[in-house]
Amino acid sequence: MEKFAKLSGVAAPMPLINIDTDMIIPKLFLKTIKRSGLGKNLFDEMRYDDNGDEISDFVLNKPAYRNAQILVAGDNFGCGSSREHAPWALLDFGIRVVISTSFADIFFNNCFKNGILPIVLPQEDVDKLMDDAGRGANAVVTVDLENQVITGPDGGTIEFTVDAFKKHCLLNGLDDIGLTMQKSDAIDAFEEEYSAATPWV
């Protein structure tokens, strides 16, 4: 998993509430177990019309936001089914940070396991960042995970909280497999000891 320490990027505003995982990546695209290639179908039903053409007024289709790395969203982001494809699609598109007043628990935890930083802020702070994000290509926001600070386009700062363990994992690029591999010496020692004690196994 790619490490996350500090990111400066364009923030895209998506003020809709209750954006569920089927809106993020429709079930039609869940046949793959690969984490790549899903970005083109992120928010598919909102991004494309029935002919597969882009809907020009959808935020991520606008020139200023095509390379957005931060998403400022409405309340209860990531609700619905527990599909891990949702953070996969966000990450494959290039989104590394999602900011909202609240997230569905499973989606929230899946983000950390896939290198995305979900940030929960009070409504007034989300409203401020939503307004900042409305500036288009000038909506460059910096997210500093180490110091837990967001800096807006005008230099204003907002502090955020994050679980210490989840922060450690993001800073060091550790997913569940990476965490397990940190104990590889102990695992190898156990296997050797166990094999010696139970040679018939």
Which is nearest to 3 in space by CA: 174, 152, 125? 174
Amino acid at 145: L
Q: Please report the pLDDT score of residue 176 as a whole number.
A: 63
- Spatial distance between the Cα atoms of 38 and 87, rounded to a whole number of angstroms: 10
Q: Please report the pLDDT score of residue 32 as a whole number.
A: 75
DSSP E strands in the chain: the ranges are: 6-14, 70-73, 97-100, 117-120, 140-144, 149-151, 157-159
Domain boundaries, the chain: 6-197
- Spatial distance between the Cα atoms of 26 and 81, rounded to a whole number of angstroms: 11
pLDDT tens sequence for the chain (201 residues): 899 999 999 999 999 999 999 999 999 888 777 778 899 999 999 999 999 999 999 999 999 999 999 999 999 999 998 889 999 999 999 999 999 999 999 999 999 999 999 999 999 999 999 999 999 888 899 999 999 999 999 999 999 999 999 999 999 998 765 655 555 566 666 666 767 778 776
User: Residue 112 has which token pair?
Assistant: 């950390």
Q: What is the DSSP letter of 115?
A: T
| CATH numeric code, 6-197 | 3.20.19.10
| pTM of the complete model | 0.88
Q: Which residues pair with 10 in a beta bridge?
A: 140
Q: Please report the pLDDT score of residue 102 as a whole number.
A: 98
Q: Please report the pLDDT score of residue 199 as a whole number.
A: 77
